[in-house]
Structure 1
């Protein structure tokens, strides 16, 4: 049995869909916080179980009989580690034989503040003794393409990444990789540094939006403080705006670039080009 924790989320749902192309539905468990949100998976023959990272009592039962478990990192920045710890403890108690964890690209050397909770989780997994494989995901293309409409409207992409090279890939790309690893043998102890094949700068990103939309779009590089301030002006909560600003600055230090092509090797195709993601949004 293969379980996906966080299966009703944006990445988790795609992982389950990818698994359905590789193994029978009755071998998949979708562990979700809100069972009603997984009705479509249940209709496909997937077993849906209640599993809330913030309610440890729900987790051990959710993982009963599971051989391999994918722990998709929580989206609650600042609260991730205690939630991940609860999942890891429950996985150990349930006798899970392989734990896969979605970490961050080169977590052990990343300049991004986001890496701190991922490193804490990786260390705790190692201390737990559960055989594990680390899926160190780079940035999602969607982190940028969600702002395409605004960029077209205002004629600009804003950031503080300078000329950083961003090796992004889509959630679909990362989901297919996770599903593949969960179905392969002898994965314990492996660490995958996963990123897109084609890196781009935000200047190139802005030009790609212009090319696809027919509208003039430029990249405006700000200081980190000014960029964080802009995010706050448009409604991003202060603490998360600070994280986003730090991530862009970290990208300028190489934190979101990798040219190892491990992601495309896993999924058996090139990763989705950012131009294709932009066109899909438009």
Structure 2
């Protein structure tokens, strides 16, 4: 069985490839990326660029199960278009089963909303693919850990309200995806990939204070305050929009979901948020 990982050069893609190799099926893996020369894998590498759909048909040829990981491009409308092109290319290449990595709380959305890409992708996949599995990812524990470390000098963590989020470890998610790809009985399933607990803003600050040994408070601010605070960083407007949208989704309950799907799929206990934060902090201290 040929297992394609589309988006293999990203952090999640690399983690999935490592997990498949650890399970002894590395030679069956086809790592697909717009920069395949950066990949060191046991199996095959192929060039497949979401922005150049003509490269995808050849990249997906002969694949039995394809993991489709969206790009990190936050420009309005781009990711939705990329996902549709990838699904069409996989269908044209005769890929029997697509596993799509979507987002928690996905619902109908239109451009320029960031969530449009996941809604568009899910709907197009369901209409087009012969067999599919959707894994809706909660927010990465690693991403929030990095945000916390970047806020240490301010002495506070900020949010738009009590942000209850089921932070999931990237490594736990990668194991769950690998097991789903290798296993049977997942056709037509929609999984919600969460961590082991829901954590609100004040609790997040409490955990960070304990792990990092520095007292951190939690302050509720508004979208315009967040924008004003981040403008000096020189981020593009669409990136600022995406950050505000994610924070808004936090308080609107998009990520206020807790399941045991990742634990069941991965077959192992899940990593607590505090452990992820401790690991990221230790790595940062060494570099």
Tell me the TM-score normalised to structure 1 length: 0.92
Name which of structure 1's ranges 26-35 and 208-217 shifts more when overlaid on structure 2.
Answer: 208-217
Name which of structure 1's ranges 112-121 and 182-191 shifts more when overlaid on structure 2.
Answer: 112-121
- Per the alignment, in what secondary structure is the counterpart of residue 275 of structure 1? helix
Q: Deviations over 1:221-246 (max 9, x none)?
A: 11122112222233332222122112
State the alpha-carbon separation in 2 of the partners of residues 134 and 247 from structure 1: 20
Q: Deviations over 1:36-76 (max 9, x none)?
A: 210x21xxx21011111111121111111110001001211
Q: Indicate conservation of the 8 Å contact 2:91/2:128, yes or no.
A: yes
Match of residue 58 from structure 2: 61
State the alpha-carbon separation in 2 of the partners of residues 203 and 106 from structure 1: 22
- Per the alignment, in what secondary structure is the counterpart of residue 102 of structure 1? strand
Match of residue 19 from structure 1: 20
Alignment of 1:205-244 (within 5 A): 205-244=204-243
Q: Indicate conservation of the 8 Å contact 1:195/1:257, yes or no.
A: no
Q: Is there any run of 5+ residues in structure 2 with no aligned partner, and where?
A: 282-287
Match of residue 100 from structure 2: 101
- Per the alignment, in what secondary structure is the counterpart of residue 18 of structure 1? helix
Q: CA RMSD in A?
A: 1.9
Alignment of 1:193-204 (within 5 A): 193-204=192-203
Q: Is there any run of 5+ residues in structure 1 with no aligned partner, and where?
A: none
Instruction: Detail structure 1 runs of 4+ shifted over 6 Å in the superposition.
Output: none
CA offset at residue 136 of structure 1?
Answer: 0.7
Alignment of 1:120-269 (within 5 A): 120-160=120-160, 162-269=161-268
CA offset at residue 23 of structure 1?
Answer: 4.2
Q: Indicate conservation of the 8 Å contact 2:80/2:121, yes or no.
A: yes
Instruction: State the number of aligned residues.
Output: 277
State the alpha-carbon separation in 2 of the partners of residues 133 and 139 from structure 1: 19
State the alpha-carbon separation in 1 of the partners of residues 113 and 54 from structure 2: 30
Q: Indicate conservation of the 8 Å contact 2:83/2:117, yes or no.
A: no
Change (3 A) 1:150 1:74: closer
State the alpha-carbon separation in 1 of the partners of residues 158 and 234 from structure 2: 15
Match of residue 47 from structure 2: 50
Tell me the TM-score normalised to structure 2 length: 0.91
